[in-house]
Structure 1
Amino acid sequence: MTPTRVRTRPILPLWSALLAAAVAAVLMRLAFPAPAVWILAFPATALLLVALVGRRTWSSLLVGAVYGILFFALLVAWTSRYLGPIPWAALSVVEGGLTAVALVPITLAYRWIPVAFPRALARLVVLPAVVGALWVGREAFVGSWPYGGFPWARLGMSQASSPLAPVASWLGVGGLGFLMVVTVAAIAEVVRLRRRRRPIALALPAVLAVVLVATPLFPTTASGSMRIAAVQGNGPTGYFDEREPFSVIQAQTQATEPLYGEDVDLLVWPEGSLDGDPFQSDALARRLSLVATRIGAPVLANTATGRDGRYYNTSLVWGSDGATGQSHDKRHPVPFGEYVPDRAFYNALAPDLIGLLQREYTPGTNPPLVEVAGVRVGLAICFDVIYDDVIAQGIYGGAEVLVFQTNNADFRGTDENLQQLAMARMRAIESGRSVVNVSTVGTSQIIRADGTTVTSLDADEAGTMLDDVELRSGLTAGIILGPWVQLVLLWGGLGALVIGWWRARRR
């Protein structure tokens, strides 16, 4: 193909670019639960990219800030449920601001790559690939910094209910997002270059569309089943809920009673299902042992535990004879939720809010695995479901089923539990494992390895789930390649941007 004329001016004037960014933010929010209209992620991505084309750095930051702040403000509005607008506004501004900064390289790619590689083939292939790589790099940046990051809004996670989700079992969630962005960016270049009637120009978007829609699940091997019961107690587990002593374990116990006499291999209770530390409370220990005796199976429960002067968010296996010695501590405690980083600094800014968080949870170091009746069970506690390393370590450790315990009581009546549940579904697809996702207050589900739901409990209702959960073995390509795909895209995108800058400067 011959060189093409390079358009360096913005496609949209600044006022309409800001409007496009705002519309993109709204559409992207709607792609996530609820209402989870997954296809809206594509026009949202297209609008944002068009708004960035040809911009200078400062106007790019402005466009990115409008998109990022509005998107996060809409997506995580549930953070204001109990603590009011300040944490919500702070999270939205910080994450939106980081998003704006991380979108600048995409603007630079649209400025430099067409000059560095002016042929139409490069515009149709190289530029979309660089844009897609920089998008994944942006997600990696926002998802890992500061304080461990907040990888809640990754593009691939919006596809939990779409036919595109199986791609994650081959390339991971980041790889799925990359292919989505490349498809959108390639179609945009076909339109910009006015080559819609040339079949060869449509080759890349057409191939990507087929890959996205027609990719099957990566095969894993069925290895039996495990009869798992999960109980949603709907007890007073919110931060500000009024409660009597032992009211939480009492709610869990009452909800469990219909299961007595059933054939159960493992009983799962959610995060925060105990009122205290059974290692330090004989009364809690006796109650937990009694439940394990009556159900005829060990109980996987969760509570705050204290050891050596430190506190942990701990999931533990408890049998009829007491503690089994198996436990896992949450790997990524939530900043400003389970601990306060740089407490003196933030206490000076908002002493009333920071003063509410007296307990400081320590990150766990033990593997996210327990073993019950010879079956290894992978764990993720609450928001740990969004961190790739926790899921991967469980699968590499031989987990044949995944159990996610969470407490959504502080976000009753919001979309938070549905967003987290969608991420649990994506983890089932990505890892090729069944998932038992159980909440204190809902929504709880047992999910097959293909992402379909076996059984479900609605929010704000006590209830039980009991099923012969399929066990599977083998590593998916998504687990093996996913972290490497993200790493290669991050540094490959930045490297391509530097090469583009150097070649464009020479030209």
Structure 2
Amino acid sequence: MWGSERAFSLPLWASVLVAAGAGAILDAGFPDRDWWFLAPVGVALMLLALLGRSLGTGLLVGLVAGLSFWLIHIFWITLYLGLVPWFALGGLQSLFFSAGLGFTAVVLRHGQRVWPGVWGRLGVVPVIVAGLWTAREAISAVWPYGGFAWGRIALSQSESPFAPLVAWVGLSGLSFLLVWLSALAVQLFREPELARAVRVGVALGAVALLLAIPAWPTIQSGTTRLAAVQGNADAGLFAEYAPGQILQDHTSATLPLLDETVDFVVWPENASDIDPTRSAAAAQVLDYISTEMDAPLITGTITRPEDTYYNSSLLWKSGQGAVDVYDKIHPVPFAEYMPDRAFWRPFAPDLIDLIGRDYGIGTRDNIFDIDGVLAGIAICFDIADDQLVHEMIDGNAEIILAQTNNADFGHTDESVQQLAIARLRALETSRTVVNISTVGSSAIITPDGQTLDSLPTFTAGAMVQTVPLSDTLTPAMVAGRVVEWLVSGLGLAGLALCSAAARRLRRS
């Protein structure tokens, strides 16, 4: 109802219903549906549901919106871990969502007093709202246990005309801009005294302004020819297979390429299920591939130097063995290792005990020098970690090799969600990204975000392509995390001002 101009609010029951629907709409903006234009719509509906809400009811609306979004978005977890981890992770992320939208409700309610002019309300409040959203994404991406950098609104835009903006402002900056558009639309809705033509003009002008920003140009520094092999191996975490079967599958998929001339061959995460640094038989297989291809081989495996297991990538050369090793820096908690096992075990002992092997956290750099080509190495979840991507580029990586194993997730949305991240990383870094999986989705993505080659899921095959190298530094890579800190700081500062205004109002 309207109590006065700019005082629109829904009854609480209606706000809850709108929030529930908004979460589902936001998810529809992500792959596999990839209706990217629905992501800002979902955000706008969440903000609409918050109008007139207090902090307490804003927390409730935010929790409902978060549960609706997250329980749909990561339903693929249930395929191999079941309902308890799905609801636990979705519930944790929904608590972040609840806090973020609860604080946003305070800004939407009291920002009108802090910035009373119409252009202040249109110019400042959307910035504060978008800054708070970005801060919530930034915190949940790194905390707890290294965070969960999935589901950021920027990741819905890999196929949208807004995607090239990521080279200028990074993933956090793109999230900020998208939420800013949604918040601006809601604020325009709250200004009925403005002529409709003015409101429509402002909204369209904001969209046009973002779309007018040109794509960052990529300067090619060279080329390399590579073969990326998808073995279609049953490589799931709990799959039952004979030792060496995954290695055999990737060997078989590589054999048809022996007449090809390439600079290197890349296999996915855990493509050698037997550690060739400890098995002479596995080492002999890798030597054979490297010799016959006359090229180095990059392969994933599980290593165990001393008493710690690592999810590792090896740079293998015939006759020399592993000349470089990268150990995964961001192993996934509750999947690749069990943090605080003694604390969590009483809640679900059977489930916790399924994770019988804890992977260590790698300490080596994520760059391979492949006969003069510097390649950034990302193992699975690493590709979602902003800091690791920045470290690659700081190490002068000219190409990114993203090795992954999606076998646990079948035909769910997980693999295409991960591929979307890889596509945005190509644009953000201005680098070719080779996303190579045991079962798919595998693709070679050029620095302009185009798919150069791809493989059908659950089909053995290989991509053999000459791809561009680049040492271009995009503004996003130069700025590092500065954009994230800046816009998050604006959001938190605006929240502090609105909270102070709320306290003054209560005292009066």
TM-score normalised by the shorter chain: which range applies? over 0.9
8 A contact 2:96–2:140 mirrored in 1: yes
State the secondary structure of the residue aligned to 2:302.
Answer: strand
Aligned position for 2:155: 157
**Could you give the per-residue CA deviations for residues 186-236 of structure 1, whole angstroms, max 9, x where no partner exists?**
122122111552766666534431232222221231011100100000112
8 A contact 1:175–1:482 mirrored in 2: no
Letter in 2 for 1:78: W
Aligned position for 2:291: 293
8 A contact 2:106–2:498 mirrored in 1: no
Letter in 2 for 1:37: W
State the secondary structure of the residue aligned to 2:124.
Answer: helix
2:477 and 2:101 mapped to 1: Cα distance? 27
Of 297, 305, 308, 1:307 maps to 305
8 A contact 2:8–2:190 mirrored in 1: no
State the secondary structure of the residue aligned to 1:38.
Answer: coil
1:208 and 1:268 mapped to 2: Cα distance? 43
1:346 and 1:31 mapped to 2: Cα distance? 34
2:121 and 2:182 mapped to 1: Cα distance? 13
Aligned position for 2:39: 41
Report matched runs for 1:133-148 at 5 Å.
133-148=131-146
Letter in 1 for 2:427: I
CA pair 468-424 structure 1, distance change in 2 beyond 3 A: same
Report matched runs for 1:404-419 at 5 Å.
404-419=402-417
State the secondary structure of the residue aligned to 1:147.
Answer: coil
Matched, 1:209 2:207: yes
Of 426, 432, 436, 2:424 maps to 426
Of 379, 382, 385, 1:384 maps to 382
What is the CA-CA distance between 1:83 and the residue it aligns to? 2.0
Aligned position for 1:370: 368
Aligned position for 1:56: 54
Aligned position for 2:272: 274
Identity %: 42
For structure 1, list consecutive stretches of 5 or more residues without a partner in the other structure: none
2:253 and 2:284 mapped to 1: Cα distance? 18
Matched, 1:248 2:246: yes
What is the CA-CA distance between 1:154 and the residue it aligns to? 0.5
Aligned position for 1:461: 459
Matched, 1:451 2:449: yes
Of 257, 263, 268, 1:265 maps to 263
CA pair 102-302 structure 1, distance change in 2 beyond 3 A: same
Letter in 1 for 2:377: L
Report matched runs for 1:168-207 at 5 Å.
168-197=166-195, 205-207=203-205
2:251 and 2:300 mapped to 1: Cα distance? 14
Aligned position for 2:18: 20
Letter in 2 for 1:451: G
Aligned position for 2:358: 360
CA pair 297-370 structure 1, distance change in 2 beyond 3 A: same
Moved more, 474-483 or 444-453: 474-483
Aligned position for 1:343: 341
1:443 and 1:186 mapped to 2: Cα distance? 36
Aligned position for 1:331: 329
2:149 and 2:11 mapped to 1: Cα distance? 32
Aligned position for 2:86: 88
**Could you give the per-residue CA deviations for residues 380-422 of structure 1, whole angstroms, max 9, x where no partner exists?**
1101111101111101111111110000000012111010001
What is the CA-CA distance between 1:500 and the residue it aligns to? 3.0
Aligned position for 1:109: 107
1:387 and 1:6 mapped to 2: Cα distance? 45
8 A contact 1:173–1:482 mirrored in 2: no
State the secondary structure of the residue aligned to 1:315.
Answer: strand
Moved more, 342-351 or 461-470: 342-351
2:267 and 2:278 mapped to 1: Cα distance? 19
8 A contact 1:46–1:184 mirrored in 2: yes
State the secondary structure of the residue aligned to 1:446.
Answer: strand
1:251 and 1:121 mapped to 2: Cα distance? 62
1:79 and 1:307 mapped to 2: Cα distance? 30
CA pair 166-157 structure 1, distance change in 2 beyond 3 A: same
1:167 and 1:134 mapped to 2: Cα distance? 20
Moved more, 339-348 or 194-203: 194-203
What is the CA-CA distance between 1:8 and the residue it aligns to? 8.0
Report matched runs for 1:484-495 at 5 Å.
484-495=482-493
What is the CA-CA distance between 1:44 and the residue it aligns to? 0.5
**Could you give the per-residue CA deviations for residues 137-184 of structure 1, whole angstroms, max 9, x where no partner exists?**
111122121111111011111000001100000001111111111112
2:65 and 2:248 mapped to 1: Cα distance? 46
8 A contact 2:443–2:452 mirrored in 1: yes
1:52 and 1:387 mapped to 2: Cα distance? 31
Moved more, 14-23 or 207-216: 207-216
Matched, 1:284 2:298: no
1:98 and 1:316 mapped to 2: Cα distance? 37
Report matched runs for 1:69-88 at 5 Å.
69-88=67-86
CA pair 11-153 structure 1, distance change in 2 beyond 3 A: same
TM-score by length of 2: 0.96
8 A contact 1:116–1:501 mirrored in 2: no
1:102 and 1:181 mapped to 2: Cα distance? 13
Moved more, 264-273 or 218-227: 218-227
Aligned position for 1:126: 124
What is the CA-CA distance between 1:505 and the residue it aligns to? 4.6
Of 310, 317, 320, 2:318 maps to 320
8 A contact 2:390–2:480 mirrored in 1: no
Letter in 2 for 1:446: I
State the secondary structure of the residue aligned to 1:310.
Answer: coil
2:415 and 2:380 mapped to 1: Cα distance? 10
Query: What do you get for the CA RMSD once the two structures are aligned?
Result: 1.7
**Could you give the per-residue CA deviations for residues 348-384 of structure 1, whole angstroms, max 9, x where no partner exists?**
1111111111111111121111011211001111011
For structure 2, list consecutive stretches of 5 or more residues without a partner in the other structure: none
1:324 and 1:71 mapped to 2: Cα distance? 43
1:27 and 1:82 mapped to 2: Cα distance? 26
Moved more, 475-484 or 72-81: 475-484
8 A contact 2:76–2:414 mirrored in 1: yes
Aligned position for 1:67: 65
1:332 and 1:352 mapped to 2: Cα distance? 25
Letter in 1 for 2:66: G
1:64 and 1:104 mapped to 2: Cα distance? 6
TM-score by length of 1: 0.96
What is the CA-CA distance between 1:446 and the residue it aligns to? 0.5
Letter in 2 for 1:317: L
2:315 and 2:348 mapped to 1: Cα distance? 38
State the secondary structure of the residue aligned to 2:473.
Answer: coil
1:6 and 1:326 mapped to 2: Cα distance? 67
8 A contact 1:112–1:497 mirrored in 2: no
